[in-house]
Amino acid sequence: MFLGFDSSTQSLTAVLIDLESGEIRTQLSVNFGTELPQYQSPSGFIPGGIEGEVHANPLMWLEALDLLFSRLSKVADLSKVKMIAGSGQQHGSVYLDDTFEDRLAKLDPAGDLLSQLAPALSRATSPIWMDTSTTEECAEITAALGGGGEICHRSGSIAIERFTGPQIRRFYKKDPAGYERTHQIHLVSSFIASVLAGKSVPIDFGDGAGMNLMSLSKLGWDTDLLAATAPNLCSKLLPPAAATSVQGEVSGYFSQKYGISAACRVALFTGDNPASLVGMGATTPGNVVISLGTSDTFFAAMPGPKTDPAGFGHVFGNPAGGFMSLICFRNGSLAREALRDSLGLDWAAFDREALAATSSAAGENLMLPFYGPEITPRHDFSGPVLKGSAAFETGADPGLQVRALLEGQFLNMRLHSEWMGVKVERIRLTGGAAKNDGIAQLVADIFQAPVERLDVLNSAALGGALIAAAADGHDLPAIQEIFCQAAADSSLEPNLALAGVYQNALRAFQNLLHASLAP
Ligand code: ADP
Ligand code: XUL
């Protein structure tokens, strides 16, 4: 059996898989907001941060780990687990002093993680991915490197507020003594993995690429980026490594306390998005995952470290080897909900209107589907832009607007993923809006690729379990074949007759976008 964890924004989840039977044995979660209310973080972070700061208490993650293990040990036979791996919300960082290693090595199963590790924090709270406080630090790092293009070329992304490097720089500037006292900086992923391994373990290439510090070509820390970020940073980071690299046996704390075998080993943890790529069975180029959640994300495996010349997309390491892209679109469900509500529809009616979009009128009316600021492309939109027939622009025919909004969203996605140069062969759709058949069919038509939906609920934690099995020597594609199956009757084929229509619509959309972004 193999155990995968995902330490995400709002919860810690475990997925236990049995490779022999090909089954998921157990899936359990601890919700931070409801189950650990003492941290006063109803959505997993401390509300009310100033200047765009969004922090979480790392002790909450430790307490959740003890709680989850105590529950797991009651429902599952942990003595059969051979390897553990997992993931964490990306970009978040944990700051530890020089007592951390010793405390890890001497963890006493009679006590808990919280009280034994709390004194090792050199920064009480952890900035997480929602933090936008580092605009100034991003500008400083960008200036030091001679421009955003250079940082993107080296690290896979331009300097981004939530990325760890700019966050480390802000800490160094605001609390130089605290920074000085910091002996080791971990990501959420490598922090949890270190606790499990009983010693500090490296950051993996997948999550490491979300720091604005790692060279994609060397798969090591970039000395210029380190120097532009904060002094002596190299001494506070272990060299990054592949997610599947085994770090040794699980800490005696867990084997003695929770009945996990002392021979169970720990591989590295990666970011939640790289782990999801594994859990969604999309680690080979040609496969794309589109997640339609609060925001929409597009992520896909790539053969080489190509970067987005426009600087919107990110490149991370792919836990299966090679690289992956991640592109976020802020106006996802929020825009779909805004239009749905303004037209007075429910999701069923919205779905029907979207399905009607497969008619020959596809692509005729265009909408820039941005109800608020967008990050891909980065622009402060104040509302959607409509161009087409009078019935469309006035809203006299609501169906035309539903069609144009969704077409606009997926044309925008297609346009901003072209830089990858990867032919989309299969799309795996997930997130709250994926169950909407009308939306799914539009995705298939616009990308001209079949769309599948999976049964997996916890794709990141499942990805962690699969990475653990791969680290134990199992063939990843073969086990993905077993655990990442499309749900029955969930697949949709593209209407091939619409290929030309959407090719033309793509260019018309691009022209409209450029015209509206022009100063
Ligand atoms: P997140 O993980 O970001 O919280 P989810 O993946 O759970 O988001 O998706 C939630 C969103 O899914 C809601 O905001 C809602 O707009 C959307 N949603 C739910 N049901 C449907 C549906 N039938 N059609 C379209 N969108 C839907
Ligand atoms: C990715 C990102 C989020 C976090 C939290 O860049 O910031 O997806 O990983 O899930």
First-to-last alpha carbon distance for the chain, in angstroms, is 58
**Closest CA to ligand 2's atom 5:** 89
- State if residue 435 touches ligand 1 by the CB under 6 angstroms criterion: yes
Q: How many CB atoms lie within 10 A of CB 460?
A: 29
Pairing of β 83-88 and β 265-271: parallel
Q: Which two tokens stand for residue 439?
A: 């939306």
- How far are the Cα atoms of 10, 38, 55, 159, 263 from residue 50, in angstroms, in the given order? 21, 21, 10, 21, 46
Q: What percent of the chain has pLDDT over 70?
A: 99
Which atom of ligand 1 is the closest one to the Cα of 430?
6
- Is residue 244 within 6 Å of ligand 2 at its C-beta? no
Q: How far is the CA of 207 from the centre of ligand 2 (A)?
A: 10
pLDDT value at residue 47? 96
Residue nearest to atom 7 of ligand 2 (CA): 129
Within 8 A by CB and 6+ apart from 359, the residues are none
Token digits for 518? 């022009």
Is 337's C-beta closer than 6 angstroms to any atom of ligand 1?
Answer: yes
Cα 16 from Cα 34, distance rounded (Å): 23
**φ, ψ (nearest 5 deg) of residue 298:** -125, 120
For residue 264, report the phi and psi dihedrals to the nearest 5 degrees. -65, 135
pLDDT digits (tens, 9 = 90+) for 116-151: 999 999 999 999 999 999 999 999 999 999 999 999
What is the fold, at CATH topology level, of the domain defined by 2-275? Nucleotidyltransferase; domain 5 (3.30.420)
pLDDT (tens digit per residue) in 307-345: 999 999 999 999 999 999 999 999 999 999 999 999 999
Residue nearest to atom 22 of ligand 1 (CA): 433
pLDDT per position as a tens digit, 221-231: 999 999 999 99
Q: Which two tokens stand for residue 452?
A: 């599948």
Provide the 3-class DSSP secondary structure of residue 428.
Answer: strand
Place of tokens 């997992």: 86
Q: Which of 9, 11, 289, 294 to mutate to test the pocket of ligand 1 (most atoms within 8 A of CB)?
A: 294
- Ligand 1 centroid to Cα of residue 436, in Å, is 10
Task: Give residue for tokens 């193999």.
Answer: 2
pLDDT band at residue 358 under the 50/70/90 scheme: low
What's the distance, CA 266 to chain centroid? 22
Instruction: Provide the pLDDT confidence category of residue 354 given band limits of 50, 70 and 90.
Output: confident
Token output for 421: 């140069």
DSSP string, 442-463: HHHHHHTS-EEEB--S-HHHHH
pLDDT of residue 518: 86
Average pLDDT of the segment spanning 250-257: 98
Query: Tens digits of per-residue pLDDT, 484-503?
Result: 999 888 899 999 999 999 99
Give the model's confidence band at 357: pLDDT under 50 very low, under 70 low, under 90 confident, else very high: low
Q: How far does the centroid of ligand 2 lie from the alpha carbon of residue 308, in Å?
A: 18
Among 172, 45, 63, smallest CA distance to 111 is for: 63
**Facing residues of 84 across strands?**
3, 266
Which DSSP symbol is given to 394? T
Model confidence, pTM: 0.95
Decide whether any atom of ligand 1 lies within 6 Å of the 181 Cβ: no
Nearest residue (CA) to ligand 1, atom 25: 433
Our measurement of the distance from residue 445's CA atom to the centroid of its chain's CA atoms, rounded to an integer in Å, reads 26
Residue 425 near residue 289, CB atoms below 8 Å: no
Give pLDDT tens digits for 90-115.
999 999 999 999 999 999 999 999 99
Q: How far is the CA of 49 from the centre of ligand 1 (A)?
A: 27
Dump pLDDT digits (tens) for 159-203. 999 999 999 999 999 999 999 999 999 999 999 999 999 999 999
Instruction: Calculate how far, in angstroms, residue 451's C-alpha sits from the geometric centre of ligand 1.
Output: 18
Which of 6, 162, 324 has the most ligand 2 atoms within 8 A of CB, as the residue to mutate?
162
Nearest CA to ligand 2 atom 3: 90
User: CA 509 to CA 474: how far, in whole Å?
Assistant: 45
pLDDT at 335: 95
Tell whether the model's pLDDT for residue 519 goes beyond 80: no
Predicted local confidence at residue 456, as pLDDT: 80
Asked if residue 162 has its Cβ within 6 Å of ligand 2, the reply is yes
Give the closest ligand to the alpha carbon of residue 275.
Answer: 2
User: Among all ligands shown, which has an atom nearest to the Cα of 433?
Assistant: 1
Contact 446, 410 (CB under 8 A): yes
> What CATH code is assigned to 281-455+488-519?
3.30.420.40
Cis peptide preceding 377, ω within 30 of 0? yes
Token pair 């989309």 is found at: 424
From the CB of 442, is ligand 1 less than 6 Å away?
no
Q: Which helix (H) or strand (E) holds 323?
A: strand 323-329
161 CB near ligand 2 (under 6 Å): no
**pLDDT higher than threshold 70 for residue 360:** no
Tell me how far the alpha carbon of residue 434 lies from the centroid of ligand 1, in angstroms: 8
Determine the residue of 291, 292, 333 to mutate for testing ligand 1's pocket, defined as the one with the most ligand atoms within 8 A of the Cβ atom: 333
458 pLDDT more than 90: yes
Ligand 2 within 6 A of CB of 307: no
Q: Where in the chain is the domain with CATH 3.30.420.40?
A: 2-275, 281-455+488-519
Looking at residue 359, what is its pLDDT? 63
Report how far residue 46's alpha carbon sits from residue 42's, in angstroms, rounded to the nearest whole number: 8
Tokens 């060397």 locate to 218
- CB of 347 within 6 A of ligand 1: the answer is yes
Span 397-439, pLDDT tens digits: 888 999 999 999 999 999 999 999 989 999 999 998 999 999 9
CA atoms within 13 A on the CB side of 364: 14
- Closest ligand to Cα 431: 1
The number of the ligand nearest the C-alpha atom of 211 reads 2
CA dist 493 and 358 (Å) reads 12
Ligand nearest to the CA of 328: 2
Pair 144, 166: CB distance under 8 Å: no
The predicted pLDDT at position 326 comes to 97
The conformation of residue 324, written as its DSSP 8-state character, comes to E
Q: To which residue do tokens 């980065």 refer?
A: 378
Confidence (pLDDT) at 405: 96
Residues 356, 350: Cα–Cα separation, whole Å: 10
C-beta of 220 in contact with ligand 1 (< 6 A): no
Nearest to 447, CA basis, from 496, 401, 489, 486: 496
**Alpha carbon distance 85, 476 (integer Å):** 14
Q: Quick one: which ligand is closest to 353's CA? A: 1
> Would you state the structure tokens that stand for residue 188, as one six-digit string?
């959420």
Buried b (16+ CB within 10 A) or exposed e, 82-118: bbbbbbbbbbbbbbbbeebbebbeebeeeebbeebbe
Query: In DSSP terms, which residues pair with 182 in a beta bridge?
Result: none
Q: How does pLDDT run across 469-487, given as a tens digit for each residue?
A: 999 999 999 999 999 999 8
d(CA 12, CA 32): 8
